[in-house]
Structure 1
């Protein structure tokens, strides 16, 4: 378990979830991940932050009643200048839906979508540098963009300066499963893009998937069901370790993973 500090631009630094029932959602994640909660900035409405051992892990807010938005975990990518990044997003054919705006003395944020419609956030840190715990049960460990193909990765390279490593279909096995791109900052992998072709869920379209570290994906998947959620993809081997894709009671999809240590 290590404490996080200010991230380099382009590095995922925070994840946040907007829901209809904040109280019920708190109960779900408290039971699943052991989070406690504290109030956060209220610029976007009622908002709380999940804590592990008193250190911030993720955010949960209430969806505006007049906006019909999907319930989904959203990763925030670090920037040194949210306004400049917002302009870069627009110039690269993305859309800025919210902000940039100030979140008290915590930082400056924007919420945007890339050219294929996947939603992500931008965070310019001040007092709040992002997730403060890494590697423990209940902490975000990875973010992957699921799209029809990996060509959208070029957008993130242009906007955030990511380097990229691409794995193209070899003609062996499932080609879609092999269409992957790793995004790097300073030579270090920070996120990935997975092209799934026709397997892209029609009801969700391109989207970012947040992976949470857990001690036992099988147990976590059972707990999700017991707590009113559902299992989308049962536990099995994944690229980083044993994993399961699940959804909370409001339908927010995420992946639980036991990362293989090498």
Structure 2
């Protein structure tokens, strides 16, 4: 069971949560799909729910901010040692702050930003809450990737803000895809994919059986947008949840073909 009890290195995808109209309805859906145990933080957290697996934090579910028009969505959070310094870097490199840095009780300090291609993401400065305590197993996130119509501009932005180095694995024509890492020879942390607008961050959850997960999700009210299909990285599918939040599932043990690049 991959787990973590310390803050994630800066620039690493460290947490995911979804903002929806009905957090408790979403909690029931994901509890049934992934086997999550849901903890309610009470009124002081604004209705934020913590999803747990094996006693460790896997993801969050919260209501949309009052008075803010936004679609239901999963948000990827990138770790930082200073939310304030990262906020300055975001604007310096052409991004915009949706929610400037603010304290979240005693658990951390965060911000929400939009990159120059229009994709929203969060930034987390860990205090009492380090981020995901479980990952890369059934019901936990295992990969985060940016889908963007501004591929090179996005690479420049995140390299400037987080210092990412890229490894191109697409063919540069039909497929433009790169992994990002802390160093050129470091382990991949996530990916950037050239795709049609609008730009967004996609959260991937690991499952033991992709076909079964897609069927079960559909029975629970989700819509299968893509898959199941095989790839060199696993058998995968993309879903739209009952409240229109998009996410993906993958069984990395069932691969087909060789990775490109």
Match for 1:214 among 200, 207, 228? 207
Distance change >3 Å, CA 36–CA 84, structure 1 → 2: same
* Residue 146 of structure 1 pairs with residue 147 of structure 2: yes
Map of 1:249 onto structure 2: 242
Distance change >3 Å, CA 43–CA 90, structure 1 → 2: farther
Q: 2 CA distance for matches of 1:79 and 1:98? A: 16
Give 1:105 deviation, angstroms: 1.2
Match for 1:160 among 145, 159, 162? 162
Map of 2:123 onto structure 1: 122
The count of corresponding residues between Structure 1 and Structure 2 is 251
Q: After TM superposition, where is structure 1 displaced by more than 4 Å over at least 4 residues in a row?
A: 41-44
Map of 1:223 onto structure 2: 216
Q: Structure 2, unaligned stretches of length 5 or more?
A: 256-261
SS at match of 1:188: coil
Give 1:39 deviation, angstroms: 2.7
Give 1:88 deviation, angstroms: 0.2
SS at match of 2:62: strand
Q: Is the 8 A contact 2:117 2:149 kept in 1?
A: no
* Residue 77 of structure 1 pairs with residue 70 of structure 2: no
Map of 1:179 onto structure 2: 176
* Cα shift readout 1:231-261 (whole Å, capped 9, x = no counterpart): 0002001352000001110011111000138
Distance change >3 Å, CA 65–CA 191, structure 1 → 2: same
Q: Is the 8 A contact 1:41 1:103 kept in 2?
A: no
* Cα shift readout 1:10-40 (whole Å, capped 9, x = no counterpart): 0000001000011110100000000011134
Q: 2 CA distance for matches of 1:82 and 1:211? A: 25
* Residue 24 of structure 1 pairs with residue 21 of structure 2: no
> Cα RMSD over matched residues?
1.7
Give 1:170 deviation, angstroms: 5.2
Give 1:185 deviation, angstroms: 1.6
Distance change >3 Å, CA 83–CA 2, structure 1 → 2: same
| TM-score normalised according to structure 2 size | 0.91
Map of 1:2 onto structure 2: 2
